[in-house]
Amino acid sequence: MQRLFGLILQCFVLCSLVWIFSADALAIPAFARKYATSCSTCHVAYPVLNAFGKAYKASGYRMPGGEDKFVKVPPVSLGAPAWKQVFPKSLWPSDIPGGSVAAFWLSSQFRVNPSATITNEFDGLNELYILGAGTLGESISFFAELEVIDGGTIPTGFGAALPRAFAQYNHPSNKFNVTGGLFEPRAVLTPTRLRLMRVSDYLSNRYGMPPSGNSFSLSPNQRGLEVWGSVEGPANKGGLDWFAGLVNGRDAGTPPGAGAFGSTVAGFNSRLQAALAAAGRTNFENNSNKDFYLGGNYKIGGMGVLGGGAPTDELQQADNFVDNSVTVGAFYYRGAAPTLVTRGSREEFVRDGNTFHRVGAKIDASIGKGNILAGVQLNRDKIENISRNFDEIITLVEARYVLYPWLIPAVRFENLNPNFGKAFYRWTLHSSTMIRANVRLSIEGVVSRNSKTDPLRDFRRFDSGNDTRAQFRLDFAY
């Protein structure tokens, strides 16, 4: 009874916090301030983008039909456009945002995990992100994210504290664009950064290959260059998105779950980490090979990928989550990772001894207020001098339904089937309540077929374990 009372009290406190925060939620993020518009113009429930938000992003963080009509905070001119006629005898004209480009994203969580030592806990401030984004002139834009607090702690590493920082060039047609810096590659089934279910990340984006010691994951970021573009389909509906990238690849240490595959895999990973440390690892790259990827998505029906069919006179605030369309997509990623290679009787550290591939395909359908995403991804690692491949097949199905614009339930199913261990699946149930356009209260539960031998038991880095549990979360952006 005392425990139940405690839970009720904690829920009351959490709800009070929601009320207090939402009552004072006057400020809105950078883009909303620039256009004096609501988050719902671009988001179903932030950070999930609606069709218009995707078109806005594809247009280089600019209004698809043209900026001038909607900008409420005019930029500061660094030269009138006519200065282009003077170039190269002058600087190319540009501008900088007229208002602040900074925005903040805070979250607080309350966890309930019956199998944990501490069955329930508040984490106070789980995340504090500072987001900076804007446009510079007609073609350049930028986006940066600084994680002041992540997972309830202050990040110590450079990569953890600054997960995204990129500049972007958009050709006026938006058919050929370039992104450079630190960014989340488009070669994923669905982006980690834009997911609705904040508690658990996608296995397809995050899971490594324990037997090869490969901690590579497609998300959350890569350093390098990405070229991409969009072309609208017939009658300005749907269209093609294409992308290709050249990046460093990632080294995130021991792959999650490595400890669950027995002493052989655990020992291999320990020796690999020791060899990496002895050979000298850097924060930016672990070998001289560059990873590359390419892919594309084709959207049939719905709003054009560059905003075709969107209202040009005013920004739509209501029912903009409806976009009847089907998108099919695929990607291929090839990389090289350090590993231990057996040559003769010796085990040698080779910086690019593991050639790995990631191939994914998806179908994403929006029908009325509902959306369903289904995807499959093959992860394959091939170590030099070993005849076998290490494979994982990951399947993903995620569905959401906008019951009301402020109430969005969702469900996700994931299955990971490796050729070196036991298959695993998990369900994630979720409901988002938009208390305000910029305040979201979500309840999320993870139900997993878990055991002490399951490889995902050690997959704690990003979601604090996968035991069956529930989580209340408050997100607040301004």
The residues of the shown chain that bind other proteins, judged by CB under 8 A, are 65-69, 77-83, 85-86, 93, 312
User: What's the min distance (Å) between Cβ of 266 and other proteins?
Assistant: 59
Q: 38 or 77, CB closer to other proteins?
A: 77
Least distance from other proteins to the Cβ atom of residue 138, Å: 10
Answer for the pair 373, 364: CB distance below 8 angstroms, yes or no: yes
CB atoms within 10 A of CB 9: 10
**Judged by CB, which is closer to other proteins: 83, or 462?**
83
Quote the least distance from Cβ 69 to other proteins, whole Å. 5
- Report the alpha-carbon distance of residue 447 to residue 467 in Å, rounded: 7
CB 71 within 8 A of CB 34: yes
Per DSSP, the residues of 82-117 read GGGGTTTSSPPP-EE-SS--EEEEEEEEEEE-TTSS
The CA-atom distances, in angstroms, between 232 and each of 236, 241, 314, 333 are: 5, 9, 21, 25
Shortest Cβ distance from residue 68 to other proteins (Å)?
Answer: 4
Q: Are 59 and 307 in contact (CB under 8 A)?
A: yes
- Using a 10 angstrom Cβ sphere, with 0-12 exposed, 13-18 middle and 19 or more buried, the burial of residue 89 is exposed
| Smaller CB separation from other proteins, 92 or 427 | 92
Q: How far is the CB of 103 from other proteins (least distance, A)?
A: 25
Q: How far is the CB of 64 from other proteins (least distance, A)?
A: 9
To other proteins, the closest distance from the beta carbon of 271 in angstroms equals: 59
Q: Which of residues 26 and 80 has its CB atom nearest to other proteins in the complex?
A: 80
Question: Shortest distance, CB of residue 304 to other proteins, whole angstroms?
Answer: 13
Residue 78 or 162: the one with the smaller Cβ distance to other proteins is: 78
Q: Between 134 and 418, whose beta carbon lies closer to other proteins?
A: 134
303, 51 in Cβ contact below 8 A?
yes
Parallel, antiparallel or unpaired: strands 102-112 and 95-96:
unpaired
Instruction: Give me 345's structure tokens.
Output: 């009787």
* Residue 82 vs 118, nearer CB to other proteins: 82
Tokens of 334: 């090839």
DSSP codes joined into one string, 113-175: -TTSSS-EEE-S--EEEEEEEEEETTTEEEEEEEEEEETTB---SHHHH--EEEEEEE-TTSS
Between 16 and 173, whose beta carbon lies closer to other proteins?
173
Provide Rg for the chain, Cα atoms.
23
Q: Give min distance, CB of 94 to other proteins, in A.
A: 10
Place of tokens 């007609």: 138
Nearer to other proteins, 65 or 180 (CB): 65
